[in-house]
Amino acid sequence: MTDGAIAPKLFALSWPLVAGNLLQTLYNLADVFWVGRVGSDAVAAVSLMFPTSWMFVSTAMGITAATIALVSQHVGAGEDRQADHVVGQTVLLTLAVSVALAVLGYIFRHPLLSLIGAEGAVYTEALAYIEVIFLSLPLTFLFFAFRAALQGAGDTKTAMWLMVASAGLNVVIDPIFILGWGPIEGMGTRGAAVATLLSRLFATAAGVYILLRGDWGVQLHLEDLQPDPDRLRKLVDVGYPASLDGWARSFSAVVMAALVARFGPIPTAAYGIGLRLMSVSWSVSGAVGQATATGVGQNLGAKTPDRAASVTWTATATTMGILFAAAGLVVTFPAEAMRLFIGEQPVIDEGITFLRIVAPSWAFFGGVMVIQGAFRGAGITKAAMALSFLSRWIFRVPVALAVAFAWTVTVPVIGPVSGLAWGVEGLWWAYVAGAVASFAVAVVWFRLGTWREGVIDRGATPAAGDD
């Protein structure tokens, strides 16, 4: 990514990431497709659990954001052995954090479900699903570490092919465990989680083997699995804002899901399906953001910040164009999109409203995610974190509370202030407000150029095992 025409190299780096993210989305879409055959309560349960489980996965995304920044900048600077050392320390850190989160999540699963508003049959189905998902967290973390290590070195295809195999396995075994087949009894939502667990186990085992082989740009050396306090501190320093970024996004999704749940199971089910469709746009923009992070990191390592900026603007414009086209398709055929997942007409009707309001804002979501990727590649993860906080906690959740619900408070000097009481549609409009406002802030912030120095320590002492 440090020389030659930008657009072709960006495309070559991005398309495997887009494919991999879309395949990850296929996990979720396949779950909803088959769970929809069980009933709307099951769909509502999986919908509530999607942002909850993603909140824990966001920690993995934070650690691996640091991995991408450090590996790509070391590779750009020609320090390959330092890049390998980062990989070993990433594996240590992801294992320690993921096991801790899995244990905590399992212990507090009951109060967590009560907090987000799950009740009755939805509570039962959600509990069956989330118990297994917590057990799969270490596998998810390790696969994120594997993908980030190769991505920082400029290899995005290997992880994509693993995702092809893993997603294919998930699609095949999903209906077997959800609905039952032969001697296997259908397990409903728990079956969807079991299928996900087995698919992730396959992908993670293959990923660890590939890192040990070391034929794909970076290598996992056994001696690098000894804790290196300085390197771990660097991963935490660069990674914790990215983890907070993910938590800000995920916890806001939990809050929004809880707000939607106040309007009943039909809007909740429609919201869950709408989010799955929306996650296709996240898959595209998130993947291009990851490719942008690699391009920015390598160019900063090579001391070419102007080219890093060109990578970012090219990626942003292209992504927004694609998402505008995708939104147009969904707005034109919203009912057909909803019927792919459920046949209950009240849910379809609510989903049509959601898609017509929210889909046109997908491009702005995508633009923010690409610029956040540029900040992460530079190692300026606090800027990406701040953008997520602004998008969700300043421009979305407060707007949702202001326009969706009926309430009145008395403010000194101003007097009585009331909510607009738009109902569940007010929650949909809050998504639009967050996307547009945060995009405007992201563009201005990136143009300030405070990200141009990078974060690696040039001329650092070689890691153990260096010649």
Q: What is the mean pLDDT of each run of 10 residues along the chain (467 residues)?
A: 85 83 70 80 78 73 82 83 88 90 88 81 86 89 89 84 86 90 86 90 91 83 88 86 77 83 87 83 86 89 89 94 92 90 86 92 94 90 90 92 82 74 90 94 93 67 44
Neighbours of 221 (CB within 10 A): 18
Q: How many Å apart are CA 28 and CA 276, to the nearest integer?
A: 7
Three-class SS state of 410: strand
* Helices (H) then strands (E): counts for the chain: 17, 4
What pLDDT is stored for residue 466 in this prediction?
46
Q: Are 63 and 90 in contact (CB under 8 A)?
A: yes
What pLDDT is stored for residue 222 in this prediction?
85
What pLDDT is stored for residue 433 in this prediction?
94
Q: Is 5 exposed, middle or buried (0-12, 13-18, 19+ CB in 10 A)?
A: exposed
What is the residue extent of each domain of the chain? 6-447
Q: How many Å apart are CA 259 and CA 262, to the nearest integer?
A: 5
Taking only Cα atoms into account, the Rg of the chain, rounded to an integer number of angstroms, comes to 22
Neighbours of 443 (CB within 10 A): 14
Concatenating the DSSP letter of every residue in 418-431 gives E----THHHHHHHH
Three-class SS state of 184: strand
